[in-house]
Structure 1
Amino acid sequence: MKIKVPTLEEFLSHDGLHYKNLWREVGDSWICPSCKRSKYEVMRWAKRFPNSSNAFWGWVAPLHRHHDHSAPYMSNQGRFPMTAICDQCNSSDGAAKRKLRLPKDFSFSPQEIGCFVNATPHGKHEIDYEMAKAIYDSLHI
Structure 2
Amino acid sequence: MKSAIAATTALLLTACAGGLATTESELQHQRWALASINGEPVDAGIGSELIIGEHMAVSGLAGCNRFFGSARLERERLRADPLASTKMACPPDIQQIEAAVLATLGGGAAVEHQQGRLTLTGSDYVLDYRLADED
TM > 0.5 fold call: no
Q: Identify, as 1 or 2, the structure richer in helix.
A: 1
Classify the TM-score, shorter chain. under 0.3
State the TM-score, normalizing by the size of structure 2: 0.23
State the TM-score, normalizing by the size of structure 1: 0.23
Which structure's CA Rg is the greater one? 2
Q: Identify, as 1 or 2, the structure richer in strand.
A: 2
